Amino acid sequence: MGICRIVLADDHALIRHGVKKMIEEDPSLKVVGEAADGLELIELLKTTPADLVILDISMPNLRGIEAIREARKICPKIKVLMLSMHKGEQYLCSSFGSGADGYLLKEDSDTELLPAIAKIRQGEFYISPNLSSEFPEDVIASCHRWREEAGDILTPRERQILQLVAEGVISRDIADKLEISKRTVEHHRANMMKKLNIKRVADLIKYAIGRGLSDTPPE
């Protein structure tokens, strides 16, 4: 099967280090790059050939679920293993619906990381044992078909801005982060609210949280 080139994406350096150490136990696997957030991951994939991405579901700037979609545009055949602490059905289905090939709980990574990678390399889907035993078979099956409503309605840029709005980032800082004008940010926000038939920014934030784009509302 050859060497599998892997890119790691997690905003915690210690987690990346731990995952990399486990991967290095298998001579057929090689970590070729690391990213601290979703945007950095996308830029890395533009210049670094990779066969598999292992990424955290909760990252700054561009969350894991959104990063999957962008990664697929750059590398349509790349495999994706989501690494997460979240056990909710919402996160599981969002990940598979966005194109992930596997969903590994961080608490299972010590024993399941290498088996998960092996299964994905063989073209199979992987779900942490603790999750596959919790959810009925019909829920697991639906994860492979499920598509987020926001993914069908909003553009990638709108989803990106929606995440930042939900995280409490103000328009000026969003503009600086994405290298666009404040006016463009506000135009995207207004367009999202129109598409989703939402009248208040507070409701837009609630929508983002409900779709897994943010874990908690801003303080």
pLDDT tens track for 156-214: 788 889 888 888 899 999 999 999 999 999 999 999 888 877 888 888 887 776 565 66
Condensed to tens digits (0 to 9), the pLDDT of residues 157-170 reads 888 898 888 888 99
Is residue 147 scored above 50 in pLDDT? Answer: no
Residue pLDDT, tens place only, 8-30: 999 999 999 999 999 999 999 99
E-strand spans in the chain? 4-9, 29-35, 52-56, 79-84, 102-105, 126-127
Map out the domains of the chain with their CATH numbers: 4-143 (3.40.50.2300), 149-210 (1.10.10.10)
Which tokens in the block code for residue 15?
Answer: 């987690």
Cα first-last separation, the chain: 49
Model confidence pLDDT, tens digit, residues 98-114 = 778 899 999 999 999 99
pLDDT at residue number 104:
94
What's the pTM?
Answer: 0.66
How far is the C-alpha of 165 from the C-alpha of 214, rounded, in Å? Answer: 9
Mean pLDDT of the chain: 84
Cα separation, 139 vs 88, whole angstroms: 12
